[in-house]
Amino acid sequence: MTTTNAPTVAPRVIKKKRRSFPKWAVTTGWKHLIGLGLIVYAIFPILYIISVSVTPGTRVDDANNLFANGFSIDAYVNLFNDPDRPFARWFANSVIVGLTTALLSVFICSLAAYAFSRLRFRGRRGGLMTLILIQMYPSLLGLVAIYGILENVGRVFPPLGLDSLLGLIMVYLGGSLGGGTYLMYGFFNTVPKEIDEAAALDGASHARIFFTIILRLVSPILAVQMLLSFIGIISDYVLPSILMTHAENLTFAVGLQQFIADPYTKDWTTFCAGAVLVAAPVVALFMYLQRYIVSGLMGGAVKG
Amino acid sequence: MRNDGEKSTTLVKRKKRSSNSLYDSTTTSTKGWVTKIILLGIVDAVAVFASFMLFMQEQWLPLIIEIAVVALVNWIYIKRGSLPAKYLAPGLAFLVAFQISVLVFSFFTAFTNYSTAHNGDIKWSTGAILQTNFATTDDAASYKVSWLKDSKGRPAELLSLQELKTDVNGEPILDPDTGEALFSYTDIKLGVQGEFVQAVDRAIVTWEKPGPDCLTVGSDCGYAVAIPGYDALDVNALSKAKTNALYELKFWEDKSRTGFINLAGGLDTAVASTQIYRFANPGGDYSKPSLTKIADPTLVFKPSKDGYYRQDGKIDGERASETGWQVFVGGQNFGVIFGDQKLREPLLKIISWTIIFAVLSVLTTFIVGLAIALLFDDARLRGKKIYRSIMILPYAFPGFLSAYVWKGLFNQKYGFINTVILGQPNGAINMDASLNNVPWLVDGTVAKIAVLLVNLWLGFPYMFLITTGALQAIPAELTESATIDGATPSQILRLIKMPLLLVSLAPLLISSFAFNFNNFSIIYLLTGGGPTNTATGYDAGETDILITFVYKIAFSTGTGRNYGLASAFSILIFLVVGSMSLISFRRTKFLEDIN
Q: What is the 3-state secondary structure (H, E, C) of B380-422?
A: CCCCHHHHHHHHCHHHHCCHHHHHHHHHHHCCCCCCHHHHHHC
pLDDT tens sequence across B379-399: 777 788 888 888 888 888 888
All residues of chain B having their beta carbon less than 8 Å from the beta carbon of residue A207 are 28, 32
Residue B591 pLDDT greater than 80, yes or no:
no
Contact B106, A141 (CB under 8 A): yes
A174/B95 CB distance under 8 A: yes
pLDDT value for B13: 42
Nearest to A221 by CA among A194, A189, A264, A263: A189
- For B417-431, what is the mean pLDDT? 66
Give me the residue from B399, B414, B468 closest to A235, CB to CB.
Answer: B399
Under the banding of pLDDT at 50, 70 and 90, the label for residue B535 is low
Q: What is the dihedral of CA B386, B389, B391, B397, to 10 degrees?
A: -150
Under the banding of pLDDT at 50, 70 and 90, the label for residue B134 is confident
pLDDT value for B356: 94
DSSP E strand stretches across B150-255:
155-164, 183-192, 198-199, 206-207, 224-226, 231-232, 250-252
Residue A171 pLDDT greater than 50, yes or no:
yes
Residue B26 pLDDT greater than 60, yes or no:
no
pLDDT value for B2: 40
Interatomic CA distance for residues B234 and B341, integer angstroms: 58
Residue B267 pLDDT greater than 60, yes or no:
yes
Interatomic CA distance for residues B466 and B392, integer angstroms: 12
Under the banding of pLDDT at 50, 70 and 90, the label for residue B242 is confident
A134/B393 CB distance under 8 A: no
Contact B134, B274 (CB under 8 A): yes
Among chain B residues, the shortest Cα distance to A198 is held by: B22
Chain region(s) in chain B for CATH 1.10.3720.10: 344-594
Give the lowest-confidence range in A53-57, A292-296, B387-391: A292-296
pLDDT value for B426: 58
Query: Which comes out higher in pLDDT, residue B409 or B438?
Result: B409
Greatest distance between any 2 Cα atoms in chain A: 83
All residues of chain A having their beta carbon less than 8 Å from the beta carbon of residue B554 are 141, 143-144
- For A187-206, what is the mean pLDDT? 84
Residue B64 pLDDT greater than 70, yes or no:
yes
- For B398-415, what is the mean pLDDT? 83
pLDDT tens sequence across B434-493: 566 777 887 888 899 999 999 999 999 889 988 888 888 888 888 888 888 888 888 888
A292 touches chain B (CB under 8 A): no
Q: Which residues pair with B251 in a beta bridge?
A: B261
How does the average pLDDT of chain A come out, rounded?
79
pLDDT value for A65: 60
Enclosing H/E stretch for B444: helix B444-473
Q: What DSSP string runs through B71-122? A: HHHHHHHHSS--HHHHHHHHHHHHIIIIIIHHHHHHHHHTTB--SSSB-S-H
pLDDT value for B8: 44
Under the banding of pLDDT at 50, 70 and 90, the label for residue A6 is very low
Give the lowest-confidence range in A160-164, A266-270, B226-230: A266-270
**Mutation to test the B interface, candidates A122, A141, A250, most B Cβ within 10 Å:** A141
Greatest distance between any 2 Cα atoms in chain B: 122
pLDDT value for B24: 62
Nearest to A60 by CA among B524, B403, B427: B427
A278 touches chain B (CB under 8 A): yes
How does the average pLDDT of chain B come out, rounded?
81
Give me the residue from A1, A175, A304 closest to B99, CB to CB.
Answer: A175
Helical H segments across chain A, by residue range: 21-24, 30-53, 74-79, 87-118, 124-134, 143-156, 165-189, 193-201, 206-208, 215-217, 219-234, 238-243, 252-261, 268-288, 290-298
Structural domains in chain A, CATH included, are: 22-79 (no CATH), 88-266 (1.10.3720.10)
Number of A/B CB contacts below 8 angstroms equals 319
**Mutation to test the A interface, candidates B88, B422, B505, B580, most A Cβ within 10 Å:** B88
pLDDT value for B9: 44
Is residue B128 left, alpha or beta, with left meaning phi > 0 and alpha meaning psi from -120 to 50? alpha
pLDDT value for B589: 52
A160 touches chain B (CB under 8 A): no
All residues of chain A having their beta carbon less than 8 Å from the beta carbon of residue B103 are 134, 137, 142
Under the banding of pLDDT at 50, 70 and 90, the label for residue B430 is low
pLDDT value for A126: 84
Architecture field, domain B344-594: Orthogonal Bundle (1.10)
B411/A201 CB distance under 8 A: no
Residue B364 pLDDT greater than 90, yes or no:
yes
Contact B450, B441 (CB under 8 A): yes
Query: Which A residues 34-53 touch B at CB under 8 Å?
Result: 34-35, 38-39, 41-43, 45-46, 48-49
- For B497-513, what is the mean pLDDT? 82
